[in-house]
Structure 1
């Protein structure tokens, strides 16, 4: 039976998650050459090729895909054993944008707690701009937000696509301003919707402004107004109505993660959370 080296398995899992030797090396605080050596050591130990690497892509081999689940369990067991020897609990503060957080978030946080019982995560939810400002002030250790400007740093977790959603019974009379429900003026999705309508010269009026996201969803579900939503977070029972009412397409954006975490265990926990976010966000 092959004896596994923790650092080699960690290198493999990180390469698999980030699909890049360069980014994996950066995440683990080492060099690309060292990552490659650790992966080769693991592959030689197992007698299997785990990663298929070409000039344009890095992907799991069939054996690598089969080994990945067990590799994660191996690392989790190792981390739990080490955490059991440490005094006190580690903690970090995480901001998740309200328009990013979907119904899968509680499940992901529960998975993260099982992965690393020695870690306490303090979660703050707000709009993306508020969270990014808090991160820049050092009030958050990490933030997962929707990209709202030209800032290019941060790790991309996936694309976010938007549409116009309304209840099936929503009625928009020709010639009348479009009835729009939105969050507070600082909300980025509201800004995206307003710019699209103004550019298309479509008159609109806000009939429900400043409530919580659940209140906006309730207003749209009740047929009182229309609103722009992420296509994966539209209220149940609503439908996409762009073609029905001749509304302009809404630009896609990206979900990005920012982090200043330095200790290896916290970075690994955050990578596990990021992987979970990617799993729930199809590329198209």
Structure 2
């Protein structure tokens, strides 16, 4: 009996499930249903004669055999894509804007894997605030943007909620009677507006002790214990904790992550759909602070279902 032959779509389903640790998000990334990718995975497992993915109601993870097979499966998919590209010689690019308060640690990993899958596609990424990216999109400077929803509530594809919290270093000490020491981005930053409006509405005095310098600089100031800052719960520095309840700070309203795109060719839209799938959330939290947990260090959400 000869060696089993591999089906490209089945192997792609396995790799995508492994990447997202989620059948739901994998199905969204591939533009299909959970049932369809489950069938493809089962067919692949039967052909190989081993279990590749272990699935429980709360967890999706690789089996021991799946971990061994994963890198070879990635190489198989990449070789398949290179073969197609060699025939078509079609090089494409699109210009993507991602808001600084939306781009998470998973983005570099996703872009690298998209390049492996489709070497003929070049994605030019611009990181700025949501308002600047929307203006650039309207002016035709960008083909797609993933941004926080602005007050104009323009039409777009809703990728899910974005939750915010108050974060500080574990040793941060707010002295009684003094204004809250607040680190914030430039005045045009939407997250700064959310934070200052909430503090004003709650009658809490505050003083900006660190302003501007970019998102990374604000993260460094908060990690050093200099101040409190409002962060997207996905992007808070891993060495900080949510301190809103302890300091009696107001709950911050959630926003939405929106995708706007003018892309029309199939392969570019497939790549964008894979990026969008990383942002989707499927369970509404009871309160914002329940969602204030950072992503795991390998760039993929934990406990996805």
Q: Same fold (TM over 0.5)?
A: yes
CA contact (8 A) 1:177 1:203 kept: yes
User: 1:133 and 1:98 mapped to 2: Cα distance?
Assistant: 15
Give the TM-score normalised by the residue count of structure 1.
0.72
Structure 1 segments unaligned to the other structure (5+ residues):
11-15, 29-68
1:162-173 mapped onto 2 (5 Å cutoff)? 162-173=164-175
2:193 is matched with which residue? Answer: 191
Q: How many residues align?
A: 253
Say whether the 8 Å CA contact 2:181–2:208 is kept in structure 1. yes
Runs of 4+ in structure 1 over 6 Å off = 3-7, 16-20, 72-77
When residues 259 and 78 of structure 1 are mapped into structure 2, their CA distance, relative to the original with a 3 A threshold, is farther
1:101 has 2:97 as partner: no
1:229 aligns with 231
Is the contact between residue 93 and residue 121 of structure 2 (CA under 8 Å) also seen in structure 1?
yes
* 2:130 matched residue in structure 1: 128
Deviation at 1:74, TM superposition (A): 9.1
Q: Is the 8 A contact 1:90 1:118 kept in 2?
A: yes
Residue of structure 2 in register with 1:218 after alignment: 220
Conserved 8 A contact 1:159-1:281: no
The change in CA–CA distance for 1:276 and 1:183 in structure 2 (over 3 A counts) is: same
Distance 1:77 1:275 in 2: 24
Q: Which residue of 2 aligns with 1:276?
A: 278
TM norm structure 2: 0.67
Distance in 1 (alpha carbons) for counterparts of 2:181 and 2:126? 31
Name the counterpart of 1:154. 157
Deviation at 1:177, TM superposition (A): 1.1
Contact 2:192–2:230 (8 Å) recurs in 1: yes
CA contact (8 A) 1:181 1:225 kept: yes
Q: 1:280 to 1:253 in 2, by over 3 A?
A: farther
Mapped contact 1:79–1:265 kept (Cα < 8 A): no
1:182 Cα offset (Å) = 0.6
**In the TM superposition, what is the alpha-carbon distance from 1:125 to its structure 2 partner?**
0.5
Q: Deviations over 1:54-98 (max 9, x none)?
A: xxxxxxxxxxxxxxx9xx999876654332223352111111111
Q: 1:79 to 1:277 in 2, by over 3 A?
A: farther
Q: Give the Cα–Cα distance (whole angstroms) in 2 for the partners of residues 282 and 146 of structure 1.
A: 22
1:84 is paired with a residue whose SS is helix
**1:161 positional shift:** 1.2
Secondary structure at 1:254 match in 2: strand
Structure scoring higher RCO (CA < 8 A, sep ≥ 6) equals 2
Q: What is the 5 A alignment of 1:39-50?
A: none
1:84·1:118 contact (CA, 8 Å) conserved in 2?
no
Deviations along 1:181-234, one digit per CA (max 9) or x if unpaired, are 011111111011011001101111111111111111111111111100111211
| Residue among 264, 267, 272 paired with 1:265 | 267
- Pick the aligned partner of 1:112 from 114, 122, 146: 114
Report the counterpart of residue 50 of structure 1 in structure 2: none
Q: Which residue of 2 aligns with 1:38?
A: none
